[in-house]
Amino acid sequence: MQTVDISIHPNKVMENIKTISVKDDNVRLDRYIRRIFPDLKQSVIEKSLRKGLIKVDDCKAKSSDRVNSGQTITLKHLNYIENANSDRKYNEKLVNLLRENILYEDEYILAINKPAGVIVQGGVKVKISMSDLLDQIREGETFKIVHRLDRDTSGVIIFARNANVARYLMEEFKGRRVKKTYLALTSGIPSKDSGTIDYPLVKKYVSGQEKVVVDENSPQNATTHFSIIARLKHNVAYLKLQPITGRTHQLRAHLAHINCPILGDGKYGGKKLLLMG
């Protein structure tokens, strides 16, 4: 016999607990969930399972797992799951943009030109992420994040199609065998046409805000190569940047330290400037 217990907590988060009946024995978990919520998209089910919002016997599970009679399925934060399902139409333009920005794919990886303003991986305060959008572009497929770019940075992001490929690529990044090149406009022009910024970095709170700053006593060595592509009006430089190390906010902090912060990067002193002509 199937039992259902629905309770509403003080924070208005709903929880739905179901017990698997004999007739549902050996059914795939995602198919069972769709029987309960027929309007839920596969991508929402996959994401909810990854986040642990849907559990089997209070343990995280995969969509391909088979359920057995007598097991308990717990669906937490139903308001989040339902909102994620309805947000799909809202994100349609971003989905189409991302689909157009696919640069390369094969059986191992998918490479996308990430637009500025979109974060790579979701979180508590993140409304939409690259991972969410990929769920909609490739329903039923789970991609592994190999590396990241800051929210306001555009550029190539590589996703792995399985865990083995992800591990290999992450080791390549960790071993600095992947060459990364960035292009940036800076508020200020370096004194040399090219050079190396080699200063250790550390996270600190500055005026109540967490920032990455240069600290000669820090063990976190950081190295960035730069070269000037063009000198523009309004004391703006167009730079080619190659980080040798991969510290958090390394380029932003290094450029700020040589008084050439990235244009528009208010956190690190970059001015907002409208370039005309």
Catalytic residues: 150
DSSP string covering 101-163, please? TEEEE-SSEEEEEEPTT-BSS--TT-S-BHHHHHHHHSTT--PEE-----TT--EEEEEESSH
Q: Could you give the CA distance from residue 199 to residue 229 in angstroms, rounded to a whole number?
A: 23
CA distance 255 to 199: 11
Both tokens of residue 15?
């929880």
Give dist(CA 233, CA 267) in Å, integer: 23
- Which residues face 226 on adjacent strands? 195, 241
Query: What is the spatial distance between Cα 80 and Cα 53, in angstroms, rounded to a whole number?
Result: 9
Q: Which two tokens stand for residue 189?
A: 């022009």
Query: Do the beta carbons of residue 121 and residue 130 sit within 8 Å?
Result: yes
